[in-house]
């Protein structure tokens, strides 16, 4: 079905339902999208394929503005370690194109949200996987963005080169802003070669505390550990090394020598293991899911402090990232918030029923001074308040 | 000599000069306010001496509370404020205005916390870049970004400019190595950004503030990630017959899937100037030199160096040498890191450009720069981070000859325009400052600039913080 | 860096030299990081780059020095750490020397300051006067706390009393030829120095004994005296020139007589200046002789590299080597003392921030007691962290500055002499 936009530009609509009288508007290109924004008179939910619609607060809007119609890799220069793709390009397509040249996304974004997620969504949500601790987050690799602000202006920040400090870094501001400031239309990001080999040290430990000690020792070693996770179910710590095969063999040997009873997994097993950690496969199914980021030594405390509310999970990022799932109750949510606060860190409600997401703090509230600045920043990007209102904060 | 247009001083501020100084003296300790003409003079410039302006006063606060007091005082009186660290900016980032108070953070030079278990350090802005590494080196750790001025430059300035360095090919730039900040806004409010954990919730304020060149506030604390050092590192030198061939070799290395920790490029004039300073054994017969560094155990180094040698050999190197000792590696880096200063040996003055280009355009851009050098009749030494395409052409001129400086400025603008046209940007790690302010329109549209200015409006509605920098007037 | 001198100003050869030095500086700021006063005070004005800029402005304007220029130039230790650091090769030493002379000539210092400086210049370079002064000061050593006030004068007097030794060693008259033991392998002149021979005559004694034992004949012409460094660093140009001329004449007489293989200096603060006689006296009649003497001058550690052989078994002592600034920066002599100490069988350890001055710097610890004592504390903390048995340095100023903190301090040459068959240094007995 085709929905007519204000200026008569025909745009493709994927689906229309009663909750979205404005339909799902799927512009075919950036200019069209800018036109839709200029003509918009009511708030819109900004998304790619909507795979993260259940993350943070539920959107309330008459229409969905989707970038799914703007797809395709527009630049890939393997020798310069750079790729550019339109926002609606599926992550799977990007990963396949990179793999064909022996390269990969550095932050190894999770596939937790399914195979349909777009690169725009990955950037807008700053999704990073286990390699975040060594290679950086998604936000660290976004070199440039094109976006349409709330006035319908097309903006281009950053570029395609690996280093760039020209002007204020609005690329970083937009990355992780969940479509609340501008609609990202194209992303340029840094990539790296896939390592020749992967190895994993498996260490069995008594508890999370001991696990963090092992992970800290691994990350505090000279052996470039690129992943450090702990699964309470198996009471196993995993330390990952990625490099040329000879290096991996050497470093795994040195690391394993540090911990009694450590085992070494080869490349094949390692790759499968880290994909499952990346995609949170070890997380028990629950009505709600959270992500907590604390300093690594505080990770075990978070696991301990939420247990009474039926919330369980595992540690990634050397203990600093706690993935949690549990009942979608206020009690469980408050337990997560309190544990994150105690650990001096932050939380995100990643998944849960609308009823819960609509009323709780899905992220820690900002200090008043920062909240005041944030409201003004939003107003400067989106003066009419049409992009994803209330997605991140209730006010 | 300053050709650059500057903001007019506010007459009402200039008229209240002695009152402002007296006010600053009331809120700061003795010897923390500098207001004598003779003593203000050395604060008129930073490492870009082509631009100079004596400020109204300089203050040297010792703690955050004093920074808050100074900013509240200045904001109330509409007084412009110029933050300053070590004064090593190459783009005039710390250039004062006549009606401004320079806030020097050199006395806030304490390391507040080092946490090895969680791998971070909390430091004040006046700690030098290398000071962080020195503080954690005994435990085997280091702070990764390593601008060439790391001996002197301060972490506050590094955050302000989002500094890079030779090793950011592997370890990233400042923005990639920060966890948290404390920032005092012009209104005197202290914002806590991030912490000791990864990825703050909400907007990426850390990302916005990093590289904001003092436009948004004054830093009083920085939390940086520290990393454990590898087992060892070794540098090799490969000399080539031309800039182009060296450029092709760089592309071949990256394409091979090897990412060395550092991949640095020097052309012939730079090789000679640096050799005179560091006695590192640079090949004086080469037209271009690559410094390539690898890390790991002895065997790992040997393995990587072997792979790199194979690639280099495809480009008929005129010389290849691997450092055999720590001292040899240190000398190689001493020459590279002192390169800008070393050019002072062959020319009284230089302008240092910082444009970035896609690495595939390296040979072509260097050839164009050579042509421009001939046309302008000014020598250029090229020293840069080849792995990421970050060029540092040093345009040599004679500051005692005004015509020479004017030419150098035009030459520089032409190089940077070329970088943008080649798909790159104006500045990779030095910042825009005052120097590249007017070139911003080459890279950004008016609506893009407006969007950036809007952020400045939010944080600093009166435009008191480091004005007349970054944005074209 | 741009300069603004008129052609008339540049006709003055001193200004021409200053201009050349200033033009070398690219204002990169590297020097600030390794400057002891910048690290301590955190002010551009107390950094080499800031001083260079102050000096440039003062010389360009042609104005007399004022209190501000004097303050910041006086605070410079002349440790020359900046010279080691500078990638551009800026000759800061000659620039700050020039500026000190300009300050001395054109700035009217407060009376107390003038008296203090005149007194030091009258006493220190003359062993007999210094000896008498120290004997007078002895009874007052413990009474520093009675000196009232926080003023600079009181602080300086307290600093003097702190630095005065508890016992003044017996005077050891020098001034003759000391024969080599066995076959003569070389003939050298030794700078007997001034303050050192009063404060620690053992250093010269050990130097002479060691050299003689190694087959080196040592001559100390009685006409040679203080090198002139103390007055030179106060900007007393004429007094410095007079001292330098006298030494050049005395040593040249030896060069032209029986011949000299080297002029040796065992106080590195003096060595830096003697090595610079060629520049200092370049406009004098004796310029050629001065250049000859400078080219012959070596720190004793440089000279010993070719001759030194230990004979005793390694004593198993850990020696914290403190690099005197005049040696490591002024003369760029860095490896030799450590190499010799290791050869002698000592375990040599070095402190963090070895490039930083201990605060001694000639009369600096007397004139700038606050900065000097902050630097002393910092240096002693880094030295003590090494847990050494002894601190060794090649400069009497440093040894005096670092003494009295529980770790014995000795001259490198005393340790070398001991291991080569000489007496065990007094401080270790």
**Residue A283 maps to a domain:** no
* C-beta separation of B211 from B427 below 8 A: no
Q: Which element (helix H / strand E) includes B320?
A: strand B319-322
Nearest to B202 by CA among A150, A376, A293, A363: A363
Residues in A closer than 8 angstroms to B449, CB to CB, are: 167
Of A30-34, C49-53, C364-368, C390-394, the range with the lowest mean pLDDT is C364-368
In a shared domain, residues A19 and A153: yes
Tell me what pLDDT residue A15 has: 46
Instruction: For residue B272, give the CATH number of its domain.
Output: 3.30.70.2190
What is the per-residue pLDDT for B3?
55
Tell me what pLDDT residue B277 has.
Answer: 84
- Average pLDDT taken over every residue of chain B: 94
The residue ranges of every structural domain in chain C are 7-106, 309-428
Per-residue confidence (pLDDT) for residue C275, from 0 to 100: 97
Asked if B118's CB is within 8 angstroms of A295's CB, the reply is yes
So what's the architecture of C309-428 in CATH? 3-Layer(aba) Sandwich (3.40)
First to last CA, chain B: 19
User: Does the pLDDT value for residue C29 go beyond 90?
Assistant: yes
In the predicted model, is pLDDT for residue C54 greater than 70?
yes
Please tell me the predicted confidence (pLDDT) of residue B6.
84
Asked whether the domain spanning C309-428 has the same topology as the one spanning C7-106, the reply is no
What average pLDDT does the segment B101-114 reach?
98
What is the model's pLDDT at position C103? 96
Give dist(CA A165, CA B432) in Å, integer: 8
Task: For residues C429 and C418, give the distance between their C-alpha atoms in angstroms, rounded to a whole number.
Answer: 12
Return the CATH number at A345.
Answer: 3.30.70
For chain C, give the mean pLDDT.
Answer: 93
Band (pLDDT 50/70/90 cuts) for residue A13 is: very low
- Number of domains making up chain A: 3
CB-CB under 8 Å, C69 with B38: yes
Q: How would you list the strands of the sheet with A346-351, edge to edge?
A: A263-265, A197-204, A236-243, A225-231, A312-316, A321-326, A288-293, A346-351
Least confident of A13-17, A77-81, C390-394: A13-17
Residue among B119, B164, B204 whose CB faces A219 most closely = B119
Instruction: Give pLDDT tens digits for A268-316.
Output: 999 999 999 999 999 998 999 999 999 999 999 999 999 999 999 999 9
A262 and A295 part of one domain: no
Using a CB-CB cut-off of 8 Å, the residues of chain B touching A317 are 198
Assess if residue B21 is contained within a domain: no
Residue of C nearest to B351 (CA): C26
User: Do residue A8 and residue A86 come from a single domain?
Assistant: yes
CB B234 within 8 A of CB B330: no
A337 shares a domain with A370: no
Q: Whole-angstrom Cα distance, residue B44 to residue B28?
A: 21
Mean of the pLDDT values across residues A134-145?
Answer: 97
Q: How many CB atoms lie within 10 A of CB B447?
A: 14
Q: Let me know whether B332 and B347 are in one domain.
A: no
Residue B246 sits in the same domain as residue B315? yes
Q: How many CB atoms lie within 10 A of CB C124?
A: 22
| Count of structural domains, chain B | 3
The reported pLDDT for the residue numbered C263 is 98
Return the HEC string of chain C.
CCCCCCHHHHCCHHHHHHHHHHHHCCCCCHHHHCCHHHHHHCCHHHCHHHHHHHHHHHHHHCCCCCHHHHHHHHCCCCCCHHHHHCCCCCCHHHHHHHHHHHHHHHCCCCHHHHHHHHHHHHHCCCHHHHHHHHHHHHHHHHHHHHCCCCCHHHHHHHHHHHHCCCCCCCCCCCCCEECCCCCCCEEEEECCCCHHHHHCHHHHHHHHHHHHHCCEEEECCCCCCCCCHHHHCCCCHHHHHHHHHHHHHHHHHHHHCCCCCEEEECCHHHHHHHCCHHHHCCCCCCHHHHHHHHHHEEEHHHHHHHHCCCCCCCCCCEEEECCCHHHHHHCCCCHHHHHHHHHCCCEEECCCCCCCCCCCCCCHHHHCHHHHHHHHHHHHHHHHCCCCCEEEECCHHHHHHHCCCCCCEEEHHHHHHHHCCCCCCHHHC
Beta bridge partners of B434: none
Mutation target to probe the C interface, by most C beta carbons within 10 A, among B35, B40, B42 is: B42
Q: Which residues of A touch B432 (CB under 8 A)?
A: 165-167
C-beta neighbour count of B14 within 10 angstroms: 13
Query: Does one domain contain both A271 and A237?
Result: yes
pLDDT over 50 (residue B16): yes
Give the residue from A278, A306, A325 where a domain finishes.
A278
Asked if B47 and C32 come within 8 Å (Cβ–Cβ), the reply is: no
The domain boundary residue, chosen from B201, B228, B255: B228
- Within-domain flag for B329: yes
Cα A190 to Cα A180: distance, rounded to the nearest angstrom:
24
Whether A234 shows a pLDDT value over 90: the answer reads: yes
Residue B330 pLDDT: 87
List the single best residue of B30, B39, B84 to mutate versus C (max C Cβ within 10 A).
Answer: B39
pLDDT tens profile C299-355: 999 999 999 999 999 999 999 999 999 999 999 999 999 999 999 999 999 999 999
Q: What is the rounded average pLDDT of the residues A340-354?
A: 96
Q: What percent of chain B has pLDDT over 70?
A: 99
Angle at the Cα of B27 from the Cα atoms of B24 and B32, rounded to 5 degrees: 65
- Whether the per-residue pLDDT at B84 is higher than 80: the answer is yes
- For residue C32, is pLDDT > 80? yes
Q: CB of C2 within 8 Å of any CB in chain B? A: yes
Binned at pLDDT 50, 70 and 90, residue A73 comes out as: very high
As a whole-number percent, the residues of chain B with pLDDT over 90 amount to 84
- Could you tell me the residue range of the domain that residue A336 belongs to? 288-357
Range of the domain at B239: 233-341
Domain boundary among B168, B202, B228: B228
Q: Does B125 fall in a domain?
A: yes
**B264 lies in the same domain as B320:** yes
Which one is predicted more confidently, A236 or C143?
A236
Residue A8 pLDDT > 60 = no
Do both B178 and B262 map to the same domain? no
Mark which of B228, B250, B274 sits at the end of a domain.
Answer: B228
What's the rounded mean pLDDT across residues B20-43? 97
Q: How far is CA B310 from CA A248, B283, B303, in A?
A: 22, 19, 11
**Could you tell me the pLDDT band of residue A23, with boundaries at 50, 70 and 90?**
confident
Which backbone phi and psi does B406 adopt, to 5 degrees?
A: -60, -40
Report the alpha-carbon distance of residue C160 to residue C372 in Å, rounded: 12
What pLDDT is attached to residue A1? Answer: 29
Say which CATH number the domain at B166 has: 3.30.465.10
Q: In the prediction, which pLDDT does A10 show? A: 40
Give Cβ neighbours of residue B363 (< 8 Å, ≥ 6 apart): B243, B244, B247, B248
Residue B2: its pLDDT value, please? 45
State the average pLDDT over residues C31-60: 98
Beta strands A182-193 and A154-158: pairing type?
unpaired
Question: How far is it, in rounded angstroms, from Cα A309 to Cα A305?
Answer: 9
Residues C157, C135: Cα–Cα separation, whole Å? 16
Q: Give the pLDDT score at C164.
A: 80
Give the one of B38, B49, B130 whose C-beta lies nearest to C2's C-beta. B49
* pLDDT confidence of residue B169: 86
Q: Please check whether residue A25 lies inside any domain of the structure.
A: yes
CATH topology of domain C7-106: Fumarate Reductase Iron-sulfur Protein; Chain B, domain 2 (1.10.1060)
Question: In angstroms, rounded to a whole number, what is the distance separating the alpha carbons of residues A299 and B365?
Answer: 50
> Would you state the pLDDT for residue B150?
95
Q: Is residue B325 part of a domain?
A: yes
Q: Decide if pLDDT at A6 tops 60.
A: no
In chain B, what residues touch A176 (CB-CB under 8 Å)? 199, 203-204
H or E segment to which residue A117 belongs = none
Q: Which residues contact B307 (CB under 8 A, 6 or more apart)?
A: B256, B258
In a domain, A182, yes or no: yes
Is B40 within 8 Å of chain C by CB?
no
Same domain, B119 and B180: yes
pLDDT, one tens digit per residue, over C389-414 is 999 999 999 999 999 999 999 999 99
Considering the domain architecture, whether residues A71 and A173 belong to the same structural domain is answered as yes
The span from the first CA to the last CA of chain A, in angstroms, equals: 35
For residues B239 and C145, which has the higher predicted lDDT (pLDDT)? B239
Is residue B458 included in any domain, yes or no?
Answer: no
Contact C31, C47 (CB under 8 A): yes
- Which pLDDT score is estimated for A3? 43
Higher pLDDT, B284 or A115: B284
Question: Are A169 and B172 an interchain contact pair (Cβ–Cβ within 8 Å)?
Answer: no
Evaluate if residue B42 carries a pLDDT over 60: yes
d(CA B135, CA B460): 35
End-to-end CA distance of chain C: give it in Å, rounded: 55
Under the banding of pLDDT at 50, 70 and 90, the label for residue A11 is very low
* A272 and A300 fall within a common domain: no
In the structure encoding, which two tokens stand for residue C35, read together?
């400057």
d(CA B244, CA A22): 57
Chain C residues close to B399, C-beta within 8 Å:
1-2
The whole-angstrom distance between C25's CA and the closest CA on chain B is 7
CB–CB contact B458 A364 (8 Å): no
What's the per-residue H, E or C state across B18-50? HHHHHHHHHHCCCCCEECCHHHHHHHCCCCCCC
Question: Which chain C residues are closer than 8 Å to B126 by Cβ?
Answer: 42
Q: Are residues A182 and A57 in the same domain?
A: yes
Q: Judge if A128 and A163 occupy the same domain.
A: yes
Q: What's the CATH code of the domain at A8? A: 3.30.465.10
Would you state the structure tokens that stand for residue A125, as one six-digit string? 């949500």
Per-residue CA distances from B381 to A155, B422, C412 (Å): 35, 20, 45
Contact B249, B240 (CB under 8 A): yes
pLDDT tens digits for C228-269? 998 999 999 999 999 999 999 999 999 999 999 999 999 999
| The pLDDT of residue A230 | 98
- Between helix C111-123 and helix C127-137 the angle, nearest 10°, is 120
Let me know whether A231 and A254 are in one domain: yes
Report the predicted TM-score, pTM, of the whole model to 2 decimal places: 0.95
Q: What average pLDDT score do residues C118-133 get?
A: 90
In tens, the pLDDT along A94-114 reads: 999 999 999 999 999 999 988
8 Å CB contact of A221 and B452: no
pLDDT, greater one: A12 or B361: B361
Give per-residue pLDDT as tens, C371-392. 999 999 999 999 999 999 999 9
From residue B123, how far is each of A41, A296, B66, B181, C349 by CA, in Å? 48, 20, 17, 10, 29
Does A244 share its domain with A328?
no
Give a yes or no: residue B169 inside a domain.
yes
ipTM score for this prediction:
0.95
For residue B391, name the pLDDT band (cuts at 50, 70, 90): very high
Shortest alpha-carbon distance between residue A362 and chain B (Å): 10
Q: Does residue B312 or residue C149 have the better pLDDT?
A: B312
Chain A partners of B91 at a C-beta cutoff of 8 Å?
A: none
């Amino acid at each position: 079905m085709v929905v007519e936009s204000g200026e008569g530009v025909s745009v493709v609509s994927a689906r229309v339902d009663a909750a979205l009288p404005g339909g799902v508007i799927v512009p075919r290109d950036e200019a069209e999208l800018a036109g839709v924004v200029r003509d918009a008179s009511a708030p819109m939910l900004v998304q790619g394929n909507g795979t993260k619609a259940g993350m943070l607060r539920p959107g309330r809007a008459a229409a969905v503005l989707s970038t799914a119609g703007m797809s395709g890799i527009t630049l890939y220069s393997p020798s310069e370690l750079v790729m550019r793709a339109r926002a609606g390009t599926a992550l799977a397509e990007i990963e396949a194109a990179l793999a064909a040249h022996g390269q990969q996304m550095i932050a190894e974004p999770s596939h937790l949200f399914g195979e349909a997620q777009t690169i725009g969504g990955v950037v807008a949500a700053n999704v990073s996987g286990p390699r975040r601790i060594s290679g950086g987050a998604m936000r660290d690799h976004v070199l440039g963005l094109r976006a349409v602000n709330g006035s319908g202006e097309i903006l281009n920040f950053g570029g395609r080169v690996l280093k760039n400090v020209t002007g204020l870094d609005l690329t970083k501001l937009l990355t992780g802003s969940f479509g609340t400031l501008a609609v990202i239309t194209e992303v340029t990001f840094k990539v790296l070669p896939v390592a020749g080999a992967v190895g994993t040290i498996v260490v069995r430990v008594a508890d999370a505390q001991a696990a963090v000690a092992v992970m800290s020792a691994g990350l505090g070693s000279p052996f470039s550990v690129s992943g450090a996770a702990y699964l309470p179910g198996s009471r196993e710590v995993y330390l990952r090394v990625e490099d040329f095969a000879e290096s991996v063999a050497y470093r795994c040997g040195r690391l394993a020598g540090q911990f009694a009873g450590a085992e070494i997994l080869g490349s094949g097993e390692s790759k499968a293991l880290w994909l499952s950690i990346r995609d949170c496969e070890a997380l028990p199914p629950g009505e709600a899911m959270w992500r907590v980021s604390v300093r690594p030594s505080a990770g075990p405390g978070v696991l301990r402090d939420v247990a009474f509310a039926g919330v369980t999970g595992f540690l990634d990022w050397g203990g600093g990232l706690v993935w949690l799932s549990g009942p979608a109750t206020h009690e469980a949510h408050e337990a997560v918030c309190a544990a994150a606060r105690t650990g001096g860190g932050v939380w995100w409600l990643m998944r849960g029923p609308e009823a819960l997401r609509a009323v709780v703090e899905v992220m820690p509230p900002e200090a008043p001074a920062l909240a005041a600045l944030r409201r003004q920043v939003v107003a400067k990007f989106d003066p009419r308040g049409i992009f994803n209102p209330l997605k991140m904060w209730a006010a | 000599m300053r050709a650059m247009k500057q903001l007019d001083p506010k007459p009402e501020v200039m008229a209240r000069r002695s009152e402002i100084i007296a006010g600053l003296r009331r809120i700061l300790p003795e010897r923390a306010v500098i207001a004598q003409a003779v003593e203000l003079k050395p604060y008129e410039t930073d490492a870009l001496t082509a631009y100079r302006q004596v400020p109204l006063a300089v203050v040297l606060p010792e703690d955050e509370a004093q920074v808050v007091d100074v900013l509240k005082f200045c904001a109330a009186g509409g007084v412009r404020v110029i933050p300053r660290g070590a004064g090593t900016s190459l783009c005039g980032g710390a250039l004062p205005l006549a009606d401004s108070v320079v806030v020097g953070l050199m006395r806030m030079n304490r390391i507040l916390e080092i946490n090895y278990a969680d791998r971070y350090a909390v430091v004040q802005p006046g700690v030098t870049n290398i000071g962080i590494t020195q503080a954690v080196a005994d435990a085997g750790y280091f702070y990764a970004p390593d601008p060439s001025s790391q001996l002197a430059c301060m972490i506050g300035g590094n955050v302000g400019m989002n500094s890079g360095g030779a090793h950011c090919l592997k370890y990233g730039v400042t923005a990639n190595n920060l966890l948290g900040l404390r920032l005092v806004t012009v209104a005197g409010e202290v914002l806590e950004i991030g912490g000791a954990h990864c990825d703050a919730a909400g907007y990426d304020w850390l990302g916005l503030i990093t590289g904001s060149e003092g436009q948004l506030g004054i830093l009083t604390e920085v939390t940086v990630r520290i990393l454990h050092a590898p087992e060892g590192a070794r540098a090799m030198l490969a000399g080539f017959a031309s800039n182009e061939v060296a450029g092709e070799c760089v592309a071949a290395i990256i394409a091979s899937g090897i990412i060395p920790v550092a991949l640095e490029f020097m052309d012939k004039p730079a090789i000679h100037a640096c050799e005179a300073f560091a006695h590192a054994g640079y090949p004086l017969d080469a037209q271009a030199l690559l410094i390539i560094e690898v890390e790991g155990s002895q065997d790992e180094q040997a393995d990587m160096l072997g792979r790199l040698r194979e690639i280099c050999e495809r480009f008929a190197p005129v010389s290849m040498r691997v450092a055999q000792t720590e001292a040899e590696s240190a000398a190689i880096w001493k020459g590279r890191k002192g390169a800008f200063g070393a050019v002072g040996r062959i020319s009284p003055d230089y302008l240092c450009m910082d444009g970035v280009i896609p690495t595939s355009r390296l040979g072509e851009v260097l050839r164009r720069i050579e042509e421009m050098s001939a046309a302008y009749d000014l020598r250029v030494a090229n020293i840069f981070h080849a792995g990421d395409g970050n060029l540092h052409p040093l345009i040599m001129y004679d500051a005692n000859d005004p015509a020479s400086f004017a030419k150098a400025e035009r030459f520089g603008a032409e190089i940077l325009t070329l970088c943008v046209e080649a798909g790159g940007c104006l500045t990779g790690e030095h910042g825009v400052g005052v120097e590249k302010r007017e070139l911003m329109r080459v890279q950004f549209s008016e609506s893009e600039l407006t969007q950036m200015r809007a952020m400045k409006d939010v944080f600093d509605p009166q435009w008191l913080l480091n004005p007349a920098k970054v944005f074209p007037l | 860096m741009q300069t603004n001198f008129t052609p008339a100003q540049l006709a003055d050869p001193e200004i021409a030299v200053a201009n050349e030095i200033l033009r070398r500086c690219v204002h990169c700021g590297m020097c600030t990081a390794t400057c002891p006063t910048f690290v301590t005070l955190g002010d551009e004005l107390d950094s080499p780059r800031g001083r260079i800029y102050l000096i440039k402005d003062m010389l360009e304007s042609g104005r007399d020095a004022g209190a501000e220029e004097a303050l910041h130039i006086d605070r410079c230790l002349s440790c020359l750490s900046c010279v080691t650091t500078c990638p551009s090769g800026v000759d800061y030493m000659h620039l700050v020397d020039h500026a000190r002379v300009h300050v001395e000539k054109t700035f009217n210092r407060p009376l107390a300051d003038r008296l203090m400086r005149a007194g030091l210049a009258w006493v220190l370079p003359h062993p007999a006067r210094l000896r008498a002064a120290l004997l007078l000061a002895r009874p007052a050593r413990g009474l520093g706390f009675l000196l009232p006030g926080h003023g600079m004068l009181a602080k300086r007097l307290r600093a003097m009393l702190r630095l005065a030794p508890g016992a003044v060693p017996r005077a050891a008259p020098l001034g003759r030829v000391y024969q080599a033991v066995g076959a003569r392998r070389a003939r050298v002149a030794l700078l007997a120095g001034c303050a050192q021979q009063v404060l620690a005559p053992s250093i010269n004694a050990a130097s002479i004994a060691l050299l003689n034992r190694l087959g080196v004949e040592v001559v100390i012409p009685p006409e040679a005296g203080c090198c002139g460094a103390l007055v030179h660093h106060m900007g007393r140009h004429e007094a410095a020139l007079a001292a330098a001329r006298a030494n050049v004449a005395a040593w040249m007489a030896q060069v032209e007589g029986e011949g000299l293989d080297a002029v040796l200096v065992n106080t590195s603060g003096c060595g830096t200046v003697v090595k610079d006689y060629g520049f200092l006296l370049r406009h004098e009649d004796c310029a050629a002789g001065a250049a000859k003497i400078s080219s012959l001058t070596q720190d004793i550690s440089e000279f010993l590299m070719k001759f030194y052989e230990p004979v005793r078994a390694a004593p198993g002592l850990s020696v914290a080597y403190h690099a005197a600034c005049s040696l490591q920066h002024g003369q760029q002599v860095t490896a030799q003392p450590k190499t010799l100490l290791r050869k002698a069988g000592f375990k040599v350890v070095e402190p963090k921030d070895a490039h930083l001055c201990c605060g001694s710097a000639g009369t600096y610890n007397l004139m700038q007691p606050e900065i000097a004592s902050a630097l002393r504390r910092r240096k002693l903390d880094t030295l003590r962290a090494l847990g050494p048995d002894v601190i060794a340095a090649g400069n009497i100023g440093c040894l005096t500055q670092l003494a009295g903190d529980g770790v014995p301090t000795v001259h490198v040459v005393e340790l070398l002499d001991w291991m080569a068959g000489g007496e065990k240094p007094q401080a270790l007995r």
